[in-house]
């Protein structure tokens, strides 16, 4: 799991990268919570999701947004952070040009950035959004959502109330054949402080269910010659 420094739009970006031995392995990009609220790539939720994908053989990368840790630059209201994420995805794709597909996973602010990224990058085949801040940011850009994924939030989240997440996500339109699954972890707060194992269980179960379907869809597109 080597530390990496990636040239970013506002200077260097600090990351941690776990390559795969399979040159066609899919890519996973993990995004952390709000930079001004203590979010960084070492947060327990981010570390857990990184390990989930790494152990499944993905080429997995997490990094610090601009202004966090050793990453240069300063907080940019989400616009610069989205540019950071796109740049980092380009970087990891450069080392994994034969990757079958990509996934993006994010916590809170990182979930918001990740879902914006998937709207711009058709190679992203799935997403995991943990505690997306639906009461702080506009999610109407998901019009319609182009990839299936899972949203997990806590019933005791005082930062982003569970009812607000349900209200916003119930209105999101999706492309044909796309499904957004939602799971609620009872008594969990915004950081899933004492419920990381339960959160991981939901993520693992979803990946067990979804990844074979993604591989099947990819094989069918290859056979028919479609992208």
pLDDT of residue 121: 97
Tell whether the model's pLDDT for residue 73 goes beyond 50.
Answer: yes
Predicted confidence (pLDDT) per residue in 144-170, tens digit: 999 999 999 999 999 999 999 999 998
Q: Are 96 and 27 in contact (CB under 8 A)?
A: yes
DSSP string, 35-64: GGGT--TTSHHHHHHHHHHHHTT-EEEEEP
Q: What is the pTM of this model?
A: 0.95
* Beta-ladder partners of 21: none
Predicted confidence (pLDDT) per residue in 9-30, tens digit: 999 999 999 999 999 999 999 9
Q: Are 15 and 2 in contact (CB under 8 A)?
A: no
pLDDT of residue 219: 77
Q: What are the extents of the domains in the chain? A: 3-224
Q: Are 198 and 169 in contact (CB under 8 A)?
A: no
What are the phi and psi torsion angles at 114 (to 5°)? -60, -40
Between strands 102-107 and 124-130, the pairing is parallel
CATH 3.40.50.1820 at 3-224, yes or no:
yes
* Alpha carbons 158 and 205: distance in angstroms, whole number: 26
């Amino acid at each position: 799991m080597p530390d990496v420094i990636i040239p970013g739009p506002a200077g260097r970006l600090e990351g941690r990268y776990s390559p795969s031995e399979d040159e066609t392995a899919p890519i996973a990009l993990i995004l952390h919570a709000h930079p001004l609220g203590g979010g960084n790539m070492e947060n327990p939720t981010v570390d857990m999701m990184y390990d989930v994908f790494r152990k499944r053989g993905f080429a997995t990368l997490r990094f610090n947004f601009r202004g966090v840790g050793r990453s240069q630059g300063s907080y940019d209201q989400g616009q610069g952070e989205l540019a950071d994420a796109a740049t980092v995805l380009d970087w990891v794709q450069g080392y994994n040009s034969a990757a079958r597909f990509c996934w993006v996973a994010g916590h809170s602010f990182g979930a918001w950035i990740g879902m914006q990224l998937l709207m711009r990058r058709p190679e992203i085949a799935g997403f995991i959004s943990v505690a997306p801040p639906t009461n702080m940011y506009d999610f109407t850009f998901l019009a319609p959502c182009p990839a299936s994924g899972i949203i997990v939030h806590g019933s005791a989240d005082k930062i982003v109330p569970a009812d607000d997440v349900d209200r916003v996500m119930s209105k999101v339109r999706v492309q044909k054949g796309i499904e957004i699954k939602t799971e609620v972890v009872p008594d969990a707060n915004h950081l899933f402080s004492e419920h990381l194992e339960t959160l991981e269980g939901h993520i693992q179960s979803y990946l067990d269910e979804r990844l074979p379907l993604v591989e099947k869809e990819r094989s069918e597109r290859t056979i028919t010659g479609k992208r």
